[in-house]
Amino acid sequence: MRIIISGGGTGGHIYPAIAIANELKAIDPGADILFVGAEGKMEMEKVPRAGYRIEGLPVVGIKRELTLDNLAFPLKLGRSLWRARQLVRQFRPDVAVGVGGYASGPTLLAASMAGVPVLIQEQNSYAGLTNKVLARWAKRICVAYPGMEAFFPAEKIILTGNPVRKDIQHADTQVETGRQAFGLDASKPTLLIIGGSQGARTINESIEQGLSQFIAAGVQVVWQTGPAFIERARAAVQATGSDLIKPYDFIYPMDQAYAVADAVVSRAGALSVSELCIVGRPAILVPFPAASEDHQTKNAMSLVDRNAALLVKDNQARTTLVAEALSLLGNADQRAILTRQIKLLARPDAGRDIAQEIMKLK
């Protein structure tokens, strides 16, 4: 079977796509999978690292504010559609899969024009613009949240959850390996900070301000800052003279990071929420307020309303986040409740279920 998987731009699109590809390979080891992404975006590095080939399109997003960059949008969209049609003719896919992001638009449109059946995977509780536009051509639409009939035709929707990589699903087997990898003391509590693949400035600045409080409490912090903040974080940590704070620009062994965490502070992107459900870690979610239609808050509230996570608003994080994190780490009963409730929301078979739906479209 020959399958194109398209989309990206953020880890929240890329890693579900890779998880789907892995499940397709598990079902059909001979499957030929081609990824199509956007030139210059992180999928062009992450996908080959996962062992798959990828082609790039010159597509860019259209900015919501008036800007000269938008003048290039029609030209790059046209070039991207032309290149996508080339790729579809050359690769001859049996099915095309879109996971959201700039590249999936021209790719799935080109595939549909060539008569190739299309499947969309929507990760968020509020559908992205690209997927909403593509829905009319899709045969199946796999979603992570109930109530998505507000965006898509009900007869096309299948509730699957978001696919999560197998290594994340087996994170609990990596506790000792993770402690060694991050240089942690098993007798001290550990807080994991993940602000998304690019980092989160509000979260980073909140943690930076609270470093002395974590050190005074004897708390170890595994801190993914994103590339833009890493040098500032390293300088701040060095100034403390403590080895309790471990800053990283990006954490590749996320299974080990989750394994060692007694609690997690995270943005509320769809992938992060799905991973937290799978690993069952007590979490404080800080939704990114500028996400389209405030979808991260909607993602977070799907847990908070079920007593499965805590919420700190972005505009309150600098004054309350560190105190909330220390309070959670000091309250074993609360952590136990959050762990129990968040595990109830896990969908560990999402990747396999989506892969099976893809196979049905051949």
The annotated binding site for UDP-N-acetyl-alpha-D-glucosamine is made up of 10-12, 124, 165, 197, 251, 270-275, 296
What would the two tokens of residue 152 be? 């898509």
Region of residue 103 (phi > 0: left; psi between -120 and 50: alpha; otherwise: beta): alpha
Residue 289, phi then psi, degrees to nearest 5: -70, -20
Closest CA to 350 of 358, 342, 339, 340: 358
Strands, E, within the chain: which ranges? 2-6, 32-38, 53-57, 95-98, 118-122, 140-143, 157-159, 190-194, 220-224, 245-248, 263-266, 283-285, 310-311
Closest CA to 21 of 161, 144, 165: 165
Residue type at 26 in one-letter notation:
A
List binding-site positions: 10-12, 124, 165, 197, 251, 270-275, 296
* 356 CB neighbour count, 10 Å cutoff: 15
DSSP single-letter state for residue 154: G
CB 111 within 8 A of CB 8: no
What would the two tokens of residue 57 be? 């399109």
Residue bearing tokens 């912090």: 221
Closest CA to 219 of 263, 256, 177, 251: 263
| Separation of alpha carbons 153 and 314, rounded Å | 34
Q: Note the helical H segments in the chain.
A: 11-27, 43-49, 73-91, 104-113, 129-134, 166-169, 175-182, 201-209, 211-216, 230-240, 254-260, 270-279, 295-304, 317-329, 332-343, 350-360
Residue bearing tokens 């990760």: 123
Cα of 264 vs its chain's centroid, Å: 15
Closest CA to 192 of 236, 124, 245, 257: 257
